[in-house]
Chain A
Amino acid sequence: MVDFLSFRDDEPAQEPTVTLEAIAGQTNATAVRVEPGEDARELLPMLDRLSLVEVNFPAFGDGRGYSAARILREAGYTGELRAVGDVLVDQLVAMRRCGFDSFQPDHPFDQAVVDATLARYDDVYQKTIDGRTPVWAKRHPETANG
């Protein structure tokens, strides 16, 4: 069973996270935890110094963290982006597409299910910041938009 999953080449960040509210004042802090309802854009001025952003999912049905992740990646954040909490294996693909690259689920994943899930979809309809080529770009390889 898998209780931590990373898709990064570097070691997982170990430092304890501080709250979004606290991090602006703690200029030496490099890890932050974002709760649903908090505005991830508040982190944009300090992305350079962050090595870990944890996005908490207290309930798997609360999808605000997906937007938080994309906003951070779209703004150029390259550090670890970790989904923590009530994160389900069936949500892995969408979370990966939104930019999450590590996972710390409350309930461990089954590795075989993880592998099957991640391998399942060869094609995606949307362009996001994950670098996968959307089908419209495959259909029109001549366009520079892909």
Chain B
Amino acid sequence: MKILTGNDLPTGDVIWWAGDGWSRRVADAVDVGEQGDDLARREEAARHVVGAYVIDATLTDEGPRPAHIKDRIRALGPTVRPDLTLKPADPDVGQWVI
């Protein structure tokens, strides 16, 4: 599947296109098919997102998993600071990105 990501303009938070708006959880990301680039342009022009780009992902039981490690780290947070990730309580949180 293809999913769309970028950063929220005023806060810089990593966000994912969830079909009717943006979410901070990659699990909410939806397949954008071939619409990603058009969506990115539209949403950037509306200043809902900055630096938007389309990535490959696979659908797993936990939701979309970005194909590249860089986007998995974006989705989660820094592996060296589990306390700052989106799953601070999970001791094996770093395993998800590898």
Q: Do chains A and B touch in the complex (CB under 8 A)?
A: no
Chain A interface residues (CB < 8 Å from chain B): none
Interface residues of chain B, those whose CB is within 8 Å of chain A, are: none
